[in-house]
Structure 1
């Protein structure tokens, strides 16, 4: 029973550490997107010709877009992160099942 509790605590600690690392990486990404949006806005404010402002307008348009996602059966969000979430789920349950198998 003690090893099962230790396994659950380790599993939760692992999830918290991964969540912290992913959160930190996403914060850096969003900071970079904000900086590029600011730079593109400043560039557009200087009134250059159309050929040089087109990439800045495209960058602003891209930074304002939202990622596509939809719900499958009204419950499961289907987006680009779904395979990673499924792999994490399968990996976690595999570890738990191995812990039960090794206790016997």
Structure 2
């Protein structure tokens, strides 16, 4: 039957797609790790690089996207938010930034 011949090909294609997705996510994590470690100020490098080394492998795709948006902000703004507790801008993920703040405070 034709269906018997198509199923192995279908499952092989699904396997390739899943491996490709894993590869893409791993490359995304590597790019974020680099971005977190080379911010521009030593303080931000230590803080965000340390957070990335500790938690990057456990983050979901949505959390990775939130982390990238946070890393797109200036060091001055981020350090001010983390160190002084200023109001977090609406376009940043507040819960995720709270994780970074807790990490910075050693919790």
- Of structures 1 and 2, the one with the larger relative CO (CA 8 A, separation 6+) is 1
Q: TM-score, normalized by length of structure 2?
A: 0.44
TM-score by length of 1: 0.45
**Higher share in strand:** 1
Larger Rg: 1
